[in-house]
Structure 1
Amino acid sequence: MHAIFAGHDEHELVRELEAVGFTVHVVDGVANRPGLEEAGIVDADLFVLTDVGQATGIPVAKDLNPDVRVVVYSDDSLPEFVSGQADLAVDPALLEPATVAEELAGQ
């Protein structure tokens, strides 16, 4: 399982995803087309975004890989223009990173 991670990892979600079997590549900088391509979005199973300020990366990820599952893990609201493209939005106050990682690995 291959995941692309963009944003801040203050909840250590990358570590939890790796613990359940994901190979995680972190976008270096902004989740724009070059950054997502360099991270390997074309072959990814999962795109995790924690910074809704980079929400424009969601349609870019879907354009490059229409089958990628998009998960937003943030306590901020997802902008309306991309809310229909995210498969799942999770508030860290409701689910801990280990639980989220386990659920994502099981699907």
Structure 2
Amino acid sequence: MTRAILAGPDRDGLGAALEVQGIDVVRVEGLLTASVLDDAGVDDADLFVLTDLDEATAISVAKDRNPDIRVVVYSHDSLPGFARGQTDIAMDPDLFGVDLVAEELA
């Protein structure tokens, strides 16, 4: 089973859409420290889905802990330059609905 960490607020319902696709979702919000990501199971996760780009430094932490994790940014905000090289895909919710995104990630 695919495991995902959904980090940040889920205003659009992406977590539920991922679960419909059979993805096991762990949700985390707030300050995304290494210990928070470790507790969420980042070592074994397949996907790190970030919706709060104020926490973009968590991308580096997730990749450091699990180099094979796929990083997905789902946000209206612009991805900071320092995080672009470690992000596999970035999508704007205005352009890509949650059902389409979940289907593609499954």
Query: What is the TM-score when the length of structure 2 is the normalising length?
Result: 0.97
Q: Which residue of 2 aligns with 1:90?
A: 91
1:59 aligns with 2:92: no
Q: Secondary structure at the match of 2:78?
A: coil
Q: Which residue of 2 aligns with 1:27?
A: 28
| TM-superposition CA deviations, 1:49-103 (whole Å, max 9, x none) | 0000000000000000000000000010011011110000000010100100000
Q: Secondary structure at the match of 1:4?
A: strand
Give matches, 1:28-43, under 5 Å. Answer: 28-43=29-44
Contact 2:71–2:87 (CA<8 Å) still a contact in 1? Answer: yes
Give the drift of 1:32.
Answer: 1.5
Contact 2:12–2:98 (CA<8 Å) still a contact in 1? Answer: yes
Give the drift of 1:29.
Answer: 2.7
Aligned length, in residue pairs = 105
Q: Which residue of 1 aligns with 2:47?
A: 46
| TM-superposition CA deviations, 1:7-56 (whole Å, max 9, x none) | 11000000000000110001243221011000000000000000000000
Contact 1:28–1:35 (CA<8 Å) still a contact in 2? Answer: no
Q: CA RMSD in A?
A: 0.7
Gaps (5+ residues) in structure 2?
none
CA distance in 2, matches of 1:78, 1:55: 8
Runs of 4+ in 1 over 6 A off after TM superposition: none
Residue identity opposite 1:54 in structure 2: E
Query: What is the TM-score when the length of structure 1 is the normalising length?
Result: 0.96
Q: Judging changes above 3 Å, is the alpha-carbon distance between structure 1 residues 20 and 62 closer, same or farther for their aligned structure 2 residues? A: same
Give matches, 1:60-75, under 5 Å. Answer: 60-75=61-76
Report percent identity of matched pairs.
55
Gaps (5+ residues) in structure 1?
none
